[in-house]
Structure formats: C-alpha cells, structure tokens
Structure 1
Amino acid sequence: MEPMVIEVRGLLQKRKHFQLGPVDLQIPQGYVTAIVGPNGSGKSSLFRMMLDQAKPDAGEIELFGLQVGGDDIAMKQRIGYVPEQAIDIDDNLKAEQKAAFISQWYPSWDLNRYQELLRRFEVDTSLKLNKMSKGMRRKFDLAVAMAHNPDLLLLDEPSSGLDPIAWKTMIDAIHRYMERGDRAVLMASHIIDEVKRLADYIVFIVHGRVLGMFEKDSLLESWYSYYIDTSEGTANWKAMPGYRSAEPNGGSLYKVITSEAADAERWCGETGVRISGRQKLELDDILTVLIEQERLRIRS
C-alpha cells in the first residue's frame, strides 16, 4: 500500500452560512489527486487549513506524517502552493524581486530549475506583478511553486487564465515533475480535460461534504447510462446495482444511470430487462448527478 502524504481526520470548519466536513481523506504519495466540485464547496478552505492559514473547529491534518499547526517550517519547505487568487500584497514588486525574496526560505531552491520554468512558460520577470496579465502571473506563480523541487504540490485552479499553449506547457511540466515517482500533487480544478489528463485519483466534494475518492479509470468505466425498453413490463430500477437515477427517454424507453455498470448489466440479464443502448458517462456528467443527489439529500 502506498504511503500517504496527506491524512485528514474528522476535519470540521463551521462558518455562519457554510460547514465544511467532517472530512476524512487520505492522499497517496506518487500520484496526482484532483478535487472536483462546484464553486463554494470548500476546496480552497481545505487547502488553507492544510497550510495552517486557517484553523479547523475540529479534527486534524497530517502532512508527511507530521501534524499541521505546530512548528512546521521544515514541513512547509517541502510544499509548493499556488492559491486560487494571486496574493496582491506584493503587486508592486517585480517578479525577479519576489523570486529572490522567496528563494531565501527554501534551502532546496534550484535557480537553474527556476530559470528553465520561466523560459518554458515565457515569463518576463522584469515586469511588476501588477503589470502582468492574469495568465502570465499564473505562470510565474507555477514556476515559483515548482522551483524548489517540492515533495508536494498544492494547486488551486492551476490553469486559471492560461491560454491553450500555456495550458499544455503546464500539463507537461506537472507530468515531468511526477516522473521521479515519489512526489504528489493535490489539485482543485474545474477543467474536466485537465483532470482527465493529470489525475490518478478524483475526490468529489459538494456543499462541504466529501462524497468519495475514486481511482479515475475505474470511475469512468463504472458510470453508465442504460437505455431500457419497458414495453414488456416495468422494472424496479432502484434494485439495480449502483442505481442513481431514472427518467423517461421517449416512448417506452427509460434512461437509467448506474455507478456499477458491470453488476448492473449482469442484473439486467438475470431479471430479463432488455437494454437497447448504453453510454459511458463523462466526468462532468458524473459530477452533475452527484450534485443533484446531494441537493435532494439536503432538501430531505
């Protein structure tokens, strides 16, 4: 079993109009894990608590086997972080000035690696940060986050503002970063293609609640829509393994969604249910179903 780079146990954060958790989560070393969910689900709050920038009301977080919240300078030196929003307190600095300041905090800062990333991302470090476009600022922040060769990258919407060429460069840079085999990436992303290209594991979070962590390829192979012909009788859809929802699809057809495709298909054969068509669900379709089910759960 892979060692865990992040362990979250019973994490709870309460705000006036929002509650995150309780969250239990394990992020394995050697893999890219993507947190996927709608805006306002608590993804950025979770990152801030991992970095001890915000405090939970209950529970604990361990990074590299050490509890967050103590004397954790050495721990943070092993992390590269790109927040969702660029920090504006240093807007009047030139990029090269900020990099020079940050490098002092990281004994493993690799100047050659930093310069290589700047060249690949085509960043002009002579500009002040507030004169950069959103995309260039994002590329600079990515270069800074990766320049000290961290053991863990925390990326909150890393491709925000990137053009297609820069996006592909970022994907390649993260793939190369993971080549060594003993690093980890935890990213939050709205870009489905980005998640499909990068992630090994996917965590769904909706309205502050983690709905599960899944191996990506297994997840995409197990969620299907089945088009069922009901002309010869009505099946008990809720008895289907992995049943999620059912709706009319014209005439005697019903569209039934399951998260356990192999078992569902076997069940159809055993119960005499006739399948007239099938379609694999994409990641955004799966998320839509989970969001709707969570809304129904909250209402009830």
Structure 2
Amino acid sequence: MSGANQASTEAGAFAVATHGLSKRYGGQTALDGVDFRVPDGAVYVLVGANGAGKSTTFKVLMNLERADAGTAQVFGMDTARSGPLVRAQVGYVPEHQGHGYGWMTCGRLLQHAAAYYPAWDPAYAEHLGRALGLRPDRGAGTLSKGESRRLQLVLAMAHRPPLLLLDEPTDGLDPVVRRRALALLAEHLADTPTTVLVSTHHVNELESLADHVGVLREGRLVAQMARDQLQRTVRRYHAEVAPGWEPPPGLDAAGLRRSSAGREVRMTLIGEEREVAERLAAAGAQVREVTTLGLEDAALAFLPEEVQ
C-alpha cells in the first residue's frame, strides 16, 4: 500500500482539522498522531473497524474527551479551549444512545433543546420527526434503540448546524427507516450549507453523498483523500501469472484471489493504474482487466481482510 499515508485532501478551507491528535486509555492507544482535514462543505466518510478510534475522534471534537497530545479545531476554534462555542455549531449523533433526559417525553425534550439553539427551526423539527415516525408523547427513556436513534437525528439536524458529526447514524434503524433517514440527510445537504463528518460500517449507503474518505486503522489515519482520488488509485486487477507468482515488493495485494490452477489472480492494488500495471508486467504478470471499485471496496482495501 505504498504512498497511502501520504494521501491528503486538496488545499482549501477546513471545517475540521486535527494536528498530531493522540489519545490513550490506560495502555490502549485510541488515536496515534491523527491529522484530519475535512474541507468546508464536504461529506467526509470515516471508515474503520470497531476500536479504530472513530468514536474517540468525535468525542475530542465535541470536547467530551481531552486529547493527550495534539490539537483539534472546528471552524478554526480550538475544541479544548472553546468547547461550548464549538458544540453550538455542531449537530451530534453519538455512538451510544443515552440522552440524559429519559424522564422527558420526546416532544418535551425537543422543546428543551430548542431553547439552546437560536437557529432551531420548529417546523423543520416537526417535519423530521414526522418523516422518521417519532412520537412526541413517548418517553425518551422508554425508546428502543432505533427509536432513540430517530430522536437523535432530529436533535442533530433541527437547528441546521454548519457541521454534523454522525457516529453510525443509521445504527439500529430498520431498512425502511434507514432509507428514509438517508433521504432526509440528502435533502438537508441540498437545502442547508453543511459539512458532514460521518462514521459508518455501511459505506455503501453513502455512495451517492460522500466526496472525501478517511480510513482509521488501530488509531492511525492510514488514508485520507478525495473520493475521485480514492477510486482512481484503488482498483482491482485481473492478471494471468505463472504458478507460485507473488506480487512484487511494495505492491501489497488486498483481497488476493487465485484460480484453482493458480494461473489467474484477482487482487486489489493501491497506486496509479499505469505505474501498477507496469510493475505487474515487470514481475511477469499479464494484466487482462482493470476494474474501478465502489466506494466501500476501495476504502476497505486499506484495512486487513480479517477486520473488514
């Protein structure tokens, strides 16, 4: 996977930027020198296995956790120094479901939240709740996992914040509501200037929305690039080879599959297509076909197969 760590977003204004962000919990490293760059107005999809550091990143950005080293900025504000100002600009859907106001009904909780956001749009909150099937009279503490997630989505979006931090936003939703939630997000992006940083295990759901991708692996950011660059530099190769053939050094083959006779291989490789094809040819492989991958398969190429 040569050059993966060098990939970065294009120069420009960043809604979210971290510099050398590191965080440990006892002997476990959650974040290890992470440098995020989320362009203003982007939909940035953060990919990684459980425990890769995705939720920790969100908590640091919300100043719910303090980094051990490095800095994090949201719209130029240091999250450690200006936590309340940062949170006022963010709609946050956390990984876990708790609200802290379980004794309130959903309707009362939405009214309570509205008092803290001058930009809260009551009509939009009602529209979101109706579209997601949220019942205002239900007690927030009695909601199922999916119902709680619907409430969190309304709380995050109803004040039309300039930044949405969505940590597994469709987790717990049934397929029908999942599609509806994603459609509402697409409508929101069309109507409201918004930057989105979203963590998900269902990358394919955001195929039509994502324009930047980051991949976290064991607390390290191993890839970060625009969607077009990702799909240009991560491709599947079908080649004819001699028995026992192995990829040349420096071309790590993700998803390597051999035919029963061992004379054909299919593998996902990272790098510019012309350079990769030349290196394969120099190693004795005859490239028969090169296929462009979908967003999910391209992103997962940066993770070991056992955690995909």
TM-score range, shorter chain: 0.7 to 0.9
Q: Deviations over 1:123-174 (max 9, x none)?
A: 1010001222322221111011111110000000000111222112211222
Which residue of structure 2 aligns with residue 4 of structure 1? 14
Summarize the alignment of residues 202-213 of structure 1 with structure 2, pairs less than 5 Å apart.
202-213=213-224
Q: What amino acid is the match of 2:72?
A: I
Contact 1:29/1:182, CA 8 A, preserved across alignment: no
Identity of aligned residues (%): 24
Q: What amino acid is the match of 1:152?
A: L
Q: TM-score, normalised by structure 1?
A: 0.87
Does residue 164 in structure 1 map to residue 164 in structure 2? no
Structure 1 residue 216, shift from structure 2 partner:
2.1
**Per residue, is there more helix in 1 or in 2?**
1
Q: What amino acid is the match of 2:37?
A: Q
Distance 2:162 2:300 in 1: 33
Q: Deviations over 1:184-233 (max 9, x none)?
A: 000100012223233111110011111111222432343233232224x9
Q: How many positions carry a matched residue from both structures?
A: 293
Does residue 107 in structure 1 map to residue 124 in structure 2? no
Summarize the Cα distance change of 1:161–1:100 in structure 2 as closer, same or farther, 3 Å threshold.
same
Does residue 292 in structure 1 map to residue 304 in structure 2? yes
Distance 2:119 2:105 in 1: 22
Which residue of structure 1 aligns with residue 264 of structure 2? 253
Summarize the alignment of residues 233-244 of structure 1 with structure 2, pairs less than 5 Å apart.
237-238=247-248, 242-244=251-253
Which residue of structure 2 aligns with residue 144 of structure 1? 155
Answer 1 or 2: higher relative contact order, Cα 8 Å, separation at least 6.
2
Structure 1 residue 239, shift from structure 2 partner:
5.4
Question: More deviation in 7-16 or 129-138?
Answer: 129-138
Question: More deviation in 194-203 or 174-183?
Answer: 174-183
Alignment counterpart, residue 55 of structure 2, candidates 44, 56, 62: 44
Distance 2:257 2:151 in 1: 48
Distance 2:246 2:174 in 1: 48
Structure 1, unpaired ranges of 5+: 296-300
Distance 1:234 1:85 in 2: 48
Summarize the Cα distance change of 1:236–1:292 in structure 2 as closer, same or farther, 3 Å threshold.
closer
| Local SS of the residue matching 2:253 | strand
Contact 1:30/1:178, CA 8 A, preserved across alignment: no
